[in-house]
Amino acid sequence: MSVGLRLIRMNRDVLSTTITIPDELSSLVLKTIAWKARLAPRDAVDIRRCAEVMLAGDTDFGELEGKTGQIVRAELRSCVARRDGIFMRAVVDYRHLSAGRADALHTRLRAVVDRLLADQE
């Protein structure tokens, strides 16, 4: 999706531009690659949100093919594999979750990823 912007600067100069907003699948791919590269807690939280949005919107993961698809699917599986793994620790610390809430979120995320990737393996 693209959005046109018209920006008026304080000196009254007018700038026009178009920005592209990624769809659900593209957002998940971008955040997963960003997480793999920099391990930023915010990326982990965003992956969780993107996965939930994809599940709620019944977005098809099937469009993602080739090496990128393999990397993203493997990374998503790795992210939710362990409750005490780096991904879950990042989400838990970023959101200041109690142990009980962290356990519940881990269970939920594993189920979400399982459903998203069910037809992919």
Rama region for 3: left / alpha / beta (φ>0; ψ in -120 to 50; rest)? beta
84: DSSP letter: T
Q: What φ, ψ does residue 64 adopt, rounded to 5°?
A: -90, 110
Q: How many domains, in total, are found in the chain? A: 1
Domain assignment of residue 41, yes or no? yes
Distance, CA of 90 to CA of 94 (rounded, Å): 6
Domain assignment of residue 97, yes or no? yes
Which residues, 6 or more positions from 47, have their beta carbon under 8 angstroms from its beta carbon?
Answer: 28, 31, 32, 35, 76, 79, 87
pLDDT digits (tens, 9 = 90+) for 9-19: 999 999 999 99
The stretches in the chain having pLDDT less than 50 are none
Domain assignment of residue 49, yes or no? yes
Token digits for 37?
């590269």
Task: Give me the domain span that covers residue 42.
Answer: 22-120
Domain assignment of residue 16, yes or no? no
pLDDT digits (tens, 9 = 90+) for 50-67: 999 999 988 777 777 788
**Which residue has tokens 């269970």?**
107
Distance, CA of 97 to CA of 118 (rounded, Å): 28
Predicted TM-score (pTM) above 0.95: no
